[in-house]
A = this chain, B = another copy of it.
Amino acid sequence: MTFKEKVFHTIQPDENSKTKKNRWFEYFITTLITLNIFAVFFESFEHFYGAHTTLFNIIEIFSVLVFTIEYLLRLWTSDMLYPKHGKFKSAIKFMVSFYGLVDLLSILPFYIPFLMKVDLRVVRSMRLLRLLRILKLQRYSTSFKMVISVFREAKSDIAVTLFITFLLLIIASTIMYHLENQIQPNNFSNIGQSFWWAIATLTTVGYGDIYPVTGWGKFISGIIALLGIGVVALPTGIISSKFIEKIREKEKSKKDKGKKGAYKYCPHCGKKLID
């Protein structure tokens, strides 16, 4: 096994036979990402950040260094990931893949100020891209993979219900805008504002920053709330039920392993029987 092969098998393990090296690499990256999440969290506390700026800088530089090396190694071994393609083509293929983009975008903001002159505010908002490092967890976390697969499977259901939800929100907010705009020109100043009201109401969050005050507004919004909450809860319900299904499946497949045959068959007709 060449050095390149060793590197490739360390950073890109075979799912079914992980070596000790694979696990160490996984633990290291996962720990570093978790550290980064905490860093993003505590950086937002101004006093704390002021007192520990050096520490935060060290964490950031160290993280970018590691993630850059990881990115370059993945780029270098990309021809082993896509063995059918040439060296150059597979490098491009990796770079434009979902994982490749996440890896790149989560380190790029660090280098930008060195490469070109940019506005400080742009730098600030680009730092938000560091959050993408959470998505790097996806390679290692089974829970994360489950989330993605749930959304992928329920794609068409979610699309249908989101469309219906969107229509309902539009209808509700247009009606409420026309009912409340005269009395509350500040709160219901346009349908955008009234859309915000509709979302807060139909998800039952109800902050209380905006609500109907006219008699008709309360009457109509009461009806909308009673009937609409069910429809808006649909994407929620679908995602939840798919998740629970997934967890059940996983548990069942764990149990079934080791059993010879999960189902019994009728000796007469050879068909599956309830057991």
Contact = CB atoms under 8 A, between A and B. Distances in A.
Interface in A158-196: 160-165, 167, 170-171, 174-175, 177-178, 181, 189-192, 194-196
A44 to B, nearest CB: 4
A240 B28 CA distance: 36
A44 B236 contact: no
A235 interface: yes
A82 B44 CA distance: 52
Interface residues of A, number: 82
Contacts of A174: 40-41, 44, 128, 131
A45 B195 CA distance: 13
A228 B56 CA distance: 30
A110 to B, nearest CB: 17
A272 interface: yes
A163 to B, nearest CB: 5
Contacts of A203: 204, 225-226, 229
Interface in A215-229: 215, 218, 222, 225-227, 229
A40 B191 contact: yes
A192 B45 contact: yes
A237 B147 CA distance: 16
A207 B271 CA distance: 57
B175 A196 contact: no
A163 B143 contact: yes
Interface of A: 37, 40-41, 44-46, 125, 128, 131, 134, 137, 141, 143-144, 146-147, 157, 160-165, 167, 170-171, 174-175, 177-178, 181, 189-192, 194-196, 199-201, 203-209, 211, 213, 215, 218, 222, 225-227, 229-241, 243-244, 247, 264, 266-269, 271-275
